[in-house]
């Protein structure tokens, strides 16, 4: 049996097309276009690339984008002052502070400052708190976990009642993904570096979300036959056949797992495109809240 490939690129394009149509509808009705402000502190090449791609996505969907860049040695107060300024700016619907920030910056304090109605990344303690509470709805859901669940639903995977394993417990992916799955009535086990018999636990999963950041850690014999596998990992490995000298792979050994799983996301082209698509969806939602 070969798994059905969940095409994140195609599904992300569909989400973006829906967002673009709603943006066009809003602007045709005389409303301001939804606008996203990004805050980048320092010069990490990967962070700069992410910020650029987010600005490009806004432009392609008819949305506005504002890019704020502070030097790596910016003081905590400078970052906080900038976030407060963006909170007060009626032209800005969504604020995204690119993580990670330099080590001397207290990220939690910065994220807590973002207005709840502009927290399009979904990382505010209030949004995460609502996500964790039964019967409460967060204003925004963190983009990557949101994309993971969306892919499962679009593929027709049954989440309710499923035994689900989330591999990784980061604040950005693992923990919010686990909370979202619990909210959809899955039975969830969160695994991490100190989990005993990791292969044995993963093997029980009807749904596996791998977000542990270890190259091809999940082997084919870890996967339950017919399981749905969502691979969030992005790892670079040497490849002499590529012009760049390397290629991207996930946290799952794709070639082995696809022979066992029922559904699987590729890397690249799986979860990655969904993160920005869901950010665009969240930014539109922010505009709809602020200017109904």
Please tell me the predicted confidence (pLDDT) of residue 6: 98
Give CA–CA dist 103/117, Å, rounded. Answer: 27
Average pLDDT, integer, range 190-211: 97
| Closest-CA residue to 264 (of 2, 1, 11, 5) | 5
Identify the band that residue 193 occupies on the pLDDT scale cut at 50, 70 and 90: confident
Answer CATH for 32-114 from 3.30.505.50, 3.40.50.11900, 1.20.120.80, 3.40.50.10860: 3.40.50.10860
Q: Note the pLDDT tens digit of each residue in 55-68.
A: 999 999 999 999 99
Every domain range in the chain assigned CATH 3.40.50.720: 142-273
Answer CATH for 142-273 from 3.30.1490.190, 3.40.50.720, 3.90.1170.50, 3.30.1490.20: 3.40.50.720
Give 41's strand partners: 70
For the chain, what is the mean pLDDT? 96
Among all residues, which ones are annotated catalytic? 54, 98, 121
Every domain range in the chain assigned CATH 3.40.50.10860: 32-114
Global confidence as pTM: 0.95
CA distances from 247 to 28, 36, 233, 266 (A): 43, 31, 13, 13
Average pLDDT, integer, range 171-179: 96
236 near 247, Cβ under 8 Å? yes
> Is 1's pLDDT higher than 80?
no
Q: Note the pLDDT tens digit of each residue in 43-96.
A: 999 899 999 999 999 999 999 999 999 999 999 999 999 999 999 999 999 999
| Closest-CA residue to 230 (of 274, 196, 194, 278) | 274
Identify the band that residue 138 occupies on the pLDDT scale cut at 50, 70 and 90: very high
Give CA–CA dist 83/104, Å, rounded. Answer: 17
């Amino acid at each position: 049996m070969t798994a059905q490939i969940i095409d994140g690129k195609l599904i992300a394009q569909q989400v973006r097309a829906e967002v673009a149509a709603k943006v066009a509808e809003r602007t045709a009705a005389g409303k301001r276009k939804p606008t996203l402000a990004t805050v980048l502190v320092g010069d990490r090449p990967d962070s700069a690339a992410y910020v650029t791609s987010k600005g490009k996505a806004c432009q392609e969907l008819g949305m506005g984008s504002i890019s704020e860049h502070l030097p790596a040695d910016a003081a905590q107060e400078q970052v906080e002052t900038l976030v407060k300024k963006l909170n007060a700016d009626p032209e800005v619907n969504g604020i995204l502070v690119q993580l990670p920030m330099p080590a001397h910056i207290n990220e939690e304090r910065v994220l807590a400052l973002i207005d709840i109605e502009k927290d399009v990344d979904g990382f505010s303690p209030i949004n995460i708190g609502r996500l964790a509470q039964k019967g409460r709805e967060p204003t925004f859901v963190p983009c990557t976990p949101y994309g993971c669940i969306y892919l499962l639903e679009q593929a027709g995977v049954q989440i309710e009642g499923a035994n689900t394993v989330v591999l990784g417990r980061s604040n950005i992916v693992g923990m919010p993904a686990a909370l979202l799955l619990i909210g959809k009535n899955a039975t969830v086990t969160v695994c991490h570096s100190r989990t005993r018999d990791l292969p044995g636990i993963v093997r029980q999963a009807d749904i596996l979300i791998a977000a542990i950041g270890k190259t091809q850690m999940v082997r084919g014999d870890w996967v339950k036959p017919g399981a749905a596998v969502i691979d969030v990992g992005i790892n670079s490995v040497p490849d002499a056949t590529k012009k760049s000298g390397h290629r991207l792979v996930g946290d799952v050994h794709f070639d082995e797992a696809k022979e066992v799983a029922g559904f699987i996301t590729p890397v690249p082209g799986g979860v990655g495109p969904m993160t920005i698509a869901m950010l665009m969806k969240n930014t539109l939602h922010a505009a709809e809240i602020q200017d109904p």
